[in-house]
Amino acid sequence: MAESLTAKKVRAGKILADLKLLYPNAKCSLDHASPLQLLVATILSAQCTDVRVNMVTPKLFAAYPDARALAAASQEDIEKLIQSTGFFRSKAKALRQTAQSLVELHGGEVPQTMAELTAFAGVGRKTANVVLGNAFGQNVGIVVDTHVGRLSLRLGLTKQTNAVKVEQDLVKLIPQSDWTVFSHLLIYHGRAVCLARSPRCSQCTLLAHCPTGQRNVVGHS
């Protein structure tokens, strides 16, 4: 019998509570000291680990401390600094174009609405959610990266694989005040326990709430 939305909400609440106990200090893992730095780091994080981005951004931020400096930078100079993040040519182009738009349209400041952010080059809904939630404390949506998508599917909180549709399912289950932290909690758990290739289901605190984990444990018993 299919799980009702009410029952799924209750289960999601238990998952959220358990994750908060497990990872009380969960936060954005991209190092940043301003909304602009977070926007830049998030653009660089596409198809790249946060650890690698955090290795690259100190020199980038030192060379271009504000939007005007980044907008005036050459494509080649940015490419050299971010090369190890992959797709560096398209990322450098996106960074320059975004910085130019910030200067021309917003006085060099990062705007605080989804519509304004997603109008920039290289900025989709996921990146905008990261910036709004972590730089401005606005729970506008839930960031769905590979970890969040994988765990949401395994936990039976969605049947979708498309990030936008996963987000649409999750916002119905999680209180809006927890939208930003919920992503961080799933990311932490995805890195520590619910690994992509070999999830540690028998050791998982969420086992009682996870249909996939229960099947895996039974299958190996």
Q: Are 164 and 125 in contact (CB under 8 A)?
A: yes
Q: Are 205 and 14 in contact (CB under 8 A)?
A: no
pLDDT confidence band for 218 (50 / 70 / 90): confident
pLDDT computed for residue 195 by the predictor? 97
Give the CA dihedral 133, 139, 140, 146, nearest 10 degrees: 60
**80 among known catalytic residues:** no
Q: Are 143 and 183 in contact (CB under 8 A)?
A: yes
> What length is written for the chain?
221
Catalytic residue among 50, 91, 126, 169: 126
Q: Are 41 and 126 in a shared domain?
A: yes
Domain that holds residue 192: 5-27+142-216
pLDDT computed for residue 220 by the predictor? 61
Q: Are 50 and 107 in a shared domain?
A: yes
Q: Are 184 and 127 in a shared domain?
A: no
Give the CA dihedral 121, 123, 70, 187, nearest 10 degrees: -150
Q: Are 65 and 115 in a shared domain?
A: yes
Q: Are 101 and 184 in a shared domain?
A: no
Domains of the chain: total? 2
Q: What is the CATH number of the domain that holds 196?
A: 1.10.1670.10
Q: Is 49 left (phi over 0), alpha (psi -120 to 50) or beta?
A: beta
Least confident of 81-85, 92-96, 111-115, 215-219: 215-219
Catalytic residue among 18, 31, 66, 145: 145
Q: Are 59 and 74 in a shared domain?
A: yes
Angle at 57 (CA atoms; ends 54, 63), nearest 5 degrees: 160
**27 among known catalytic residues:** no
Q: Are 44 and 82 in a shared domain?
A: yes
Amino acid at 97: Q
User: Cα 92 vs. chain centroid, distance in angstroms?
Assistant: 20
Q: Are 204 and 186 in contact (CB under 8 A)?
A: no
Percentage of the chain lying above the pLDDT 70 cut: 99
Query: Is pLDDT larger for residue 1 or for residue 89?
Result: 89
What does the pLDDT look like over 171-203, one tens digit per residue? 999 999 999 999 999 999 999 999 999 999 999
CA–CA separation, 109 and 128 (whole Å): 14
Q: Are 152 and 85 in a shared domain?
A: no
CA distances from 25 to 38, 74, 157 (A): 19, 38, 23
Q: Is the pLDDT of residue 51 over 60?
A: yes
Q: Are 55 and 147 in a shared domain?
A: no
Whether 221 maps to a domain, the answer reads no
pLDDT computed for residue 10 by the predictor? 98
